[in-house]
Amino acid sequence: MNTNTIMHGDMPGDKVEINDSHRTKAARILPVLLEKLEPIRAATPHGRAVVCVCGGSGVGKSEIASLLGQALQDGGLGCYVLSGDNYPHRIPAQNDAERLRVFRCGALKGLVGSGLYTEEVKNELLDLQRQDVDCDPAQTAGRPWLEVYQREGRKALAGYLGSDKEQDFAQLSDIISRFKNGAGSIYLKRMGRTPLDLWYDRVDFSDKKVLIIEWTHGNSDGFSGVDLPILLNSTPQETLEHRRSRNRDGGVDHPFTTMVLEIEQRLLESAAHKAAIIVAKNGDLLTYGQYRELMARG
């Protein structure tokens, strides 16, 4: 399969770098996916089904979604791969800033509520914020108040990440509903890296029977209509390494990035029970029980 012509997600500028590991996983997923798709499509008036490929970015969901989509297309099932990264409310730089704002506002509110906020603490914290290290666990040594600050900030951030405050789940639910109800074409959002990189393209779905959504939050309860969630298992460290290789926005080694990845990992784990197919890093297909055992071993 020529990786220059293979279909891929519709996020502007996104890269798909397919390797043998991705091909192995896709080859193991495909027969199970085809078997599960048949009764779902047969039960719908337009013979359409929605699949999501979710997981941390280090596990290759973009690449595997591309391979699965191309295999379905080549097998006669028209397919479209949609990138969920087009559907946050804010472009990446603005969303990163909002994440930090949510963290710091929640952290400060919690610190004040704890009774540990003083003029001395205020001045020291402002200095840590200017250095952009206020979320670094290494800075808590000798600063018990900073532990409270970071704990409360983390709780606030966990309430934002992957929620409808961050992601436009309603728009995705509407797209899925239109697709399943037989829409011949749908306007789909495109979001790039700057405020001007925002537009909609009209996409022809007249010959499409499967919609694949590749997205970290593809198995979320925030939106509806996904028939077959596929979870690609990963760890925050694997995700971090993949972000380093892409390095689209810089700062991948920052403690705040690590915090975000850890929270997203917990979101993935909390929704794993809904996955129709779970794939281990080595390509093995797992039951949910096997997945829980694997995660418990760390």
Taken as a whole, the chain contains a residue count of: 298
Say if domain 20-88+169-296 classifies as CATH 3.40.50.1820. no
Kindly list the domain boundaries of the chain, sorted by start residue: 20-88+169-296, 92-158
pLDDT tens-digit map of 88-141: 999 999 999 999 999 999 999 999 999 999 999 999 999 999 999 999 999 999
Residues of the chain with pLDDT under 70: 1-4, 235-252, 298
Instruction: Measure CA of the first residue to CA of the last residue in the chain; give whole Å.
Output: 35
pTM for the model stands at: 0.91
| 114-119 long-range contacts, CB within 8 A, separation 24+ | 114/145, 114/148, 114/152, 116/144, 116/145, 116/148, 117/145
Q: Per-residue pLDDT tens for 244-253?
A: 665 554 555 7
